[in-house]
Chains A and B, each alone.
Chain A
Amino acid sequence: MSATVTARREPSGPPAKVSSRRLTERVFRIREFGIIAVLVVFVAVTAAIQPRFIGSQEIGFILSNTTVFALLALGETMVVISRNVDLSIGSVLGLSAYLSASLFGAHHGIPIPLVFLAGLGIGLACGIGNGLMVSIGKVPSLVVTLATLYIIRGVDILIVGGNEVVAQTLPNAFIQIPKANVLGVPYLAIAVAAVIGAGAYYLRSFRSGRDLYAIGSNPEAARLAGIPVGRRVFTAFAVSGAIAGVAGVLWAAQYQTIDSTAGTGYELQVIAAVVVGGVAIFGGSGSAVGAAIGALLLNTINSALYVLGISPFWDQAIAGFLLLVAIALDRLISVRLAAALRRRSSGVGT
């Protein structure tokens, strides 16, 4: 794979300051380059067999399917970078999707932004609950969010019962949100891309964003460095919940039929996308852009199998396989990086 070749070519460069930075930068960019390369190859091969695959209709379909996942991946990335995990997002999405969409039936003519605000509020409340238990209760996030995964889904089932929200009760303007597009590219995908870009920029360029990386990289050192670990982790969970809430509203607009199973299992697909996208599962490194591309890749595979007429049963197996490749690649890169950095003579000795 291109990643390893590049890393191998470089280490014996001149031992000046610049080359070490270039090397690390390169390796870190490669994390995303690698997955983009996989994506490009995959699209190219599929298109060669079935040219319809790169038609604007198909691309629009993939992009609009990806939006919800990519958005969820942004919140999950923040949580995973801080060496935590949020398993409750699928349930939060389901609850928010039902409650917000049923507002249209209960209050005719309710403004659409208000519905989005409601979804955001529901998600935020769930996220705050998770965040409090993790940061103040000091309960491992795996346990907390596994519990809230079931609790929120249970509440959802209690509320929904055997009902469902159907398309007829939703205003046309709402249903059109995921469909509006320019040259086949949904406006929504552009908006989500902008949000993810902003999120990635925040994580990279603001102190509180960098704190999340620091916490994930070495929690004990973060405490010693005076980083408000609890507050930052809490915020990450609150944001992840709020994003899942908004994603729920988008999900409702996209699928229009909402029962109590909406979003079931999404948490694992999103975590898969995040890890495939190069976010280290034990925190400290990775980017929101990578995670979004991970989501795009998994959805592209999904569509490609469909277009190629391969049984969708393969879909999950291939997604799982990719996950292993991503993790192996991640491990390989970090081992190589460590070796390359060790070989580089110490700055002090010179």
Chain B
Amino acid sequence: MPGNPEDAPAGQAAPVPPAGLTGPVPPPAAQATPLLSLRHAAKSFGAVHAVVDGSADLYPGEAHALLGENGAGKSTMVKMLAGVYPPDEGELLIGGAPVTLHSPAAARDAGIAVIYQEPTLFPDLTVAENIFTGRQPLRGARRIDGKLMRGQAAALFERLGVRLDPGRICRGLPIADQQIVEIAKALSLDARVIVMDEPTAALSAAEVARLFEVVRALRAGGAAVLFISHRLEEVFEICQRVTVMRDGRHVFTSELAGLTADDLVRAMVGRQVAQRAAGGRHEPGAEVLRVERLTREGVFTDVSLRVRAGEIVVLAGLVGSGRSEVARAIFGIDRYDAGMVTLASKPLKKASPAAAMAAGVGYVPEDRRQQGLVMEMSVQQNMALASLSRLRTAGLIRSAAERAFAADWAQRLRLKYGRLTDPVSRLSGGNQQKVVLAKWLGRQPSLLIVDEPTRGIDIATKAEVHTLLGQLASDGVAILMISSELPEVLQNGDRILVMREGRLTAEYPHAEATEEKIMAAATGQTEGQAA
């Protein structure tokens, strides 16, 4: 029994009306005890308050949507339910009894299965082993029964309507298949609560339809599904209730019936989404970047694109579609097998970030903590890192020059910081991203590549970053931006290129782009299916 016996009053086990319900609308079965409820949970990482006040109730037989923008705290909520991060504050009740989940194993034993946004597989183990890790069927003397295990995996795939060899190792599986393995894993747990963190992000329409059948079957069996998705039409199709979060706080919980997509978006964003006026900037200038039929075997194929001065070109697509890899190849971090990159009509040397930097390319990577910043170094050192050649005399870095340089950029970017000598790890995510931007802007690049520039950044700073990128473009910088967030794509892109499975599948000018068109091109479904 996962419950904590000391904390559970004797009467708590009987069904009681959910007293602490946070939503304005009664749940579908007001008499029933929620299978799981998380109340006023909070979780901070250092100075970052990922979740300030997170609440959710899940009742048997419901699919419950958890919505919020990136950075709203959904993934942290998921990890609290998964036993990965114990909440700092608040309580978690399972079947009405308070519990503390100390580990992922405890969450699993408590009947909670989680499908993470990024598949968490063991590349060296077989598909079947991945599904049954730690729970492999046994035969005599506690040995693993491999044949039975593969049979059970095959039966799960049958239920999901997919063909996947349970005996092959997971290394090299396409992302959609990895997601299928994750879903099969959750099914195999016979969990009462299944948390799905963007399970459909990498799936085709047919696969999504099958997944929804599975969700319905789970509901019919009395399980509760917590469903996280950015595709609102999916939410309306499969869910009965919805909880919206914003900036780490619970906004509301409600029945979905009667709500519109606009209502949900407003609740997520907290205001009317401001649309950038199309064509607000001047005509783009001369071509800065030209990429011709760039190919890296097995990663991306025949990618051709152009970016002109003063233009923001967005590469949209699903995670794993090869966008970041293209950017890395352009900047010279990764090799490419065929094709050519030209910068201001001059061919750019392959596989040499130094050559790319010398030619005036700046690159703000996807993962700022690992790749964009040296976390232990100070704010000013990080900012000056790419401009050291201009800040030194006779090989020595002049710290006064470094400080002046950093102070200048900190002011221009409205950086919120304590002291310039503080380690950069002390800044919030949004301000860290500004430091990365400052690092490259200090070099006055002619081409700036930004990969997911606003991931995990609060809404106010996000808007500042967007404004900043717009200003840079107005000043004549060519910007190649990668983003997975559709509103960001639509708002910032003068042109939007969509990638799918390593190939460019569509291009839309700002005026013609819609979420539906981009999603369709990114997932390979026709628009009819997507709607």
Contact = CB atoms under 8 A, between A and B. Distances in A.
Chain A partners chain B: yes
Interface in A4-40: 17, 20-21, 24-25
Given A217-B122, A226-B134, A285-B124, A346 B176 contact: yes
Contacts of A226: 103-108, 134
Interface string A330-342: 0000100111111
A347 B177 contact: yes
B469 to A, nearest CB: 32
Given A339-B298, A341-B168, A347-B163, A225 B134 contact: yes
A122 B157 CA distance: 50
B124 A205 contact: no
A214 B167 contact: no
Nearest to B116: A224
A225 B185 CA distance: 10
B180 interface: yes
A20 B114 CA distance: 29
Contacts of A337: 171-172
Given A206-B144, A346-B176, A220 B133 contact: no
Interface residues of B, number: 44
Interface string A263-287: 0000000000000000010001100
A347 B136 contact: no
A341 B173 CA distance: 7
Nearest to A282: B124
Given A211-B134, A228-B105, A348 B164 contact: yes
Interface in B160-189: 162-165, 167-169, 171-174, 176-177, 180
A346 B501 CA distance: 12
Instruction: Give the interface centre of A17, A211, A224, A334 by most chain B CB atoms within 10 Å.
Output: A224
B104 A224 contact: yes
Contacts of B207: 348
Interface residues on A, range: 35 or more
B144 A205 contact: yes
B163 A205 contact: no
A207 interface: yes
Most buried by A among B122, B136, B180, B207: B122
Interface string B93-128: 000000000011111100000101000111111000
Given A217-B122, A226-B105, A207 B144 contact: yes
Interface of B: 82, 84, 103-108, 114, 116, 120-125, 129, 133-134, 136, 138, 142-144, 146, 157, 162-165, 167-169, 171-174, 176-177, 180, 204, 207, 297-298
Interface of A: 17, 20-21, 24-25, 205-207, 210-211, 213-214, 216-218, 220-228, 280, 284-285, 334, 337-342, 346-348, 350
Q: Which 5 pairs from chain A and chain B are nearest by CB? A: A226-B105, A341-B172, A347-B164, A284-B124, A221-B120
29 contacts: A20-B165, A24-B169, A25-B167, A205-B143, A205-B144, A207-B134, A207-B136, A207-B142, A210-B125, A211-B133, A213-B122, A218-B121, A218-B123, A221-B120, A221-B121, A223-B84, A223-B104, A226-B103, A226-B105, A226-B107, A284-B123, A337-B171, A339-B298, A346-B174, A347-B157, A347-B165, A348-B163, A348-B180, A350-B163
Given A217-B123, A227-B133, 15 more contacts: A17-B165, A24-B167, A214-B122, A217-B124, A223-B104, A224-B114, A226-B105, A284-B123, A338-B172, A338-B298, A346-B173, A347-B164, A347-B180, A348-B204, A348-B207
